[in-house]
Amino acid sequence: MMKIGLTGGIASGKSTVSDWLRAHHYPLIDADRIAREVVASGEPGLSAIVSAFGQNIVLKNGTLNRQALGKLIFSDEKKRRQLNEILHPLIRERIKSRIKQFQDSGVRAVFLDIPLLFEGSLDQWTDKTIVVYVSKDNQLRRLMSRNHLTEQEALARIDSQMSLEEKRRRADEVIDNNGSVEETERQLQSILRHWNI
């Protein structure tokens, strides 16, 4: 089974590619969804986050206050590292379990949609990697618009990740997402044909 890492940067358009793959029934493991699962109410991940950062990051209904946590960690490198130390082992374990499920079911290829693929050295789990790329100007504009952030807030989030230029250099294939959705989908289809999947 071929394992294909799919990554990009915040607001680079990676979810456009994931959505297309999902809609066309390609097996896909979404690390962001898994990250939400491991901090759901009653999960050990949420308890560990509360122990580390306090009760104020939980909403009245008992779920994680993502906005409060985001403000806390995007402005503090030490707290971001602490959060990663809590969550990454839980997320990795669940990803490994899903890979095994797909392998056991006999699929030819599975996509691992992981925003921090290179940062977390998870590209070592893959046979091939695809990076969804946009210019920094487009990334900044899209993130400010999508998340209603100031330029400073958006830049802090972009700069907290490995640069898209560096990810582009490490990738087996790059999808340039500066154009239309149709152009992005055409590039993806071309890669799938080239890799015969």
113 shares a domain with 197: yes
How many domains would you assign to the chain? 2
Last residue of a domain, one of 55, 90, 106: 106
Alpha-carbon distance 192 to 197, whole Å?
5
Does the annotation flag 16 for ligand binding?
yes
197 shares a domain with 157: yes
120 shares a domain with 37: no
150 shares a domain with 102: no
| DSSP string across 123-141 | GGG-SEEEEEE--HHHHHH
Does the annotation flag 15 for ligand binding?
yes
The single residue listed with the structure tokens 């308890």 is 47
Res 186: pLDDT:
97
Does the annotation flag 179 for ligand binding?
no
182 shares a domain with 117: yes
Going 162 to 8 to 35 to 72, the CA torsion angle's sign is: positive
115 shares a domain with 163: yes
91 shares a domain with 169: no
- In which residue ranges of the chain is pLDDT below 70? none
Does the annotation flag 12 for ligand binding?
yes
Res 77: pLDDT:
86
Range of the domain at 23: 1-27+109-197
Last residue of a domain, one of 106, 141, 165: 106
Last residue of a domain, one of 88, 106, 124: 106
Domain of 92: which CATH number?
A: 3.40.50.300
17 shares a domain with 38: no
Res 76: pLDDT:
87
79 shares a domain with 66: yes
Res 51: pLDDT:
95
120 shares a domain with 67: no
186 shares a domain with 91: no
75 shares a domain with 117: no
Alpha-carbon distance 184 to 162, whole Å?
22
Residues 126-144: pLDDT tens digits?
A: 999 999 999 999 999 999 9
Q: Is 110 helix (H, G, I), strand (E, B) or coil?
A: strand
Res 125: pLDDT:
97
